[in-house]
Structure 1
Amino acid sequence: MFDVLVYLYENYWRPDACPDHDQLTRKLSAVGFESDEIQEALSWLDGLAATADSTQSAPQSPQSLRVYLPRELDLLGDESVGFISFLESAGVLPPPMRERVIDRATAVGSPLTLDDLKIIVLMVFWSQGEEPDALILDELFVAPEDRLIH
């Protein structure tokens, strides 16, 4: 599923630039993705679109504290929770977006790697037609051992 999401991010600048599900399914199949992987990704994206309304309407104070449920902690893991906290403290992941990230991460239904979470964060930005700033993109794309220190 994550490979399909990365392909969509790289080839469509926003969700509304994607063709309808039937045409997109044909295009993704032609590129070589398996049908179950395509359907899983499209279903996940439908859930992402559905969460946009619910999280935007729930006002939250910037000083609020997010308490993770045990199930969320099991699925996210310490490294991913730490990365979400890093993005929040950097001021690039406001509470409504954080909730969308957590919702979509737990929708996967199995424990995530940090790389999987980074794709989810990227797709949340993508779904809103936003691109994170260059430093955050660096955090999302470049492996720590490949970073150059200036």
Structure 2
Amino acid sequence: MFDVLVYLYENYWRPDACPDNEQLTRKLSAVGFETDEIHEALSWLQGLAVSAESGSGSQPGQHSMRVYLPSELELLGEESVGFISFLDSAGVLPAPMREMVIDRATAIGTGPLSLDDLKIIVLMVFWSLGEEPDALILDELFVAPEDRLIH
């Protein structure tokens, strides 16, 4: 699924630049992605779109402390929680966006989530809102080239 998300991030400026689901599915299949992987990614993106439409975008001035449920800690893992805290304390991941990241990360359903996968989720949240993270933070979000291709 994450490879499909990376492909979409690299090839489409915003979600509204993507073709409709049927055409996108055909295109992703033609590129070589498996049907199950495509459907899983598109379903995950639908959940992201719902989250973005529900008013969970970045709203300046909203600061809050996040207490994680045991189930969230198990699914996210210590390293991912630490990275989310880092982005939060750096002021680049406002509370509503943080909640979108946590929602989409826990929607994966298996844990602990790797830090590389979490970084892709963070990028996709920014992407879904049509925002680009601060340049210094953007460097932190890029995954090692040997693991994924994000440029």
Structure 1: gaps (5+ residues): 144-150
**In the alignment, is the contact (CA less than 8 A) between 1:60 and 1:95 conserved in 2?**
no
- The CA deviation string for residues 106-143 of structure 1, in whole angstroms up to 9 with x for no partner, is 00000110000000000000001111121111101154
Aligned pairs, number: 142
Kindly indicate which of the two structures has a greater share of residues assigned to helix: 1
* Counterpart residue type for residue 100 of structure 1: M
Which residue in 2 is equivalent to 1:130? 131
Q: CA RMSD in A?
A: 1.7
Aligned partner of 1:34 in structure 2 is: 34
Task: Give runs of aligned pairs for residues 1-150 of structure 1, distance below 5 A.
Answer: 1-56=1-56, 62-111=62-111, 112-141=113-142, 143=144
TM-score between both structures, scaled by the size of structure 2: 0.89
Per-residue CA deviations over 1:13-60 (Å, capped at 9, x if unaligned) read 000000000000000000000000000000000000011133538x89
Secondary structure of 2:93's aligned partner: coil
**CA distance in 2 between partners of 1:110 and 1:133 (Å):** 29
Quote the offset at 1:91 in angstroms. Answer: 0.6
Change (3 A) 1:103 1:141: same
Runs of 4+ that moved beyond 3 A: 59-63
The TM-score normalised by the length of structure 1 is 0.89
1:49-77 CA distances to partner (integer Å, 9 max, x unpaired)?
Answer: 011133538x8973421110011000001
Cα separation, partners in 2 of 1:39 and 1:139, compared to 1, 3 Å: same
Q: Which amino acid aligns with 1:98?
A: R
Cα distance 1:77–1:37, how it changes in 2: closer, same or farther (>3 A)? same
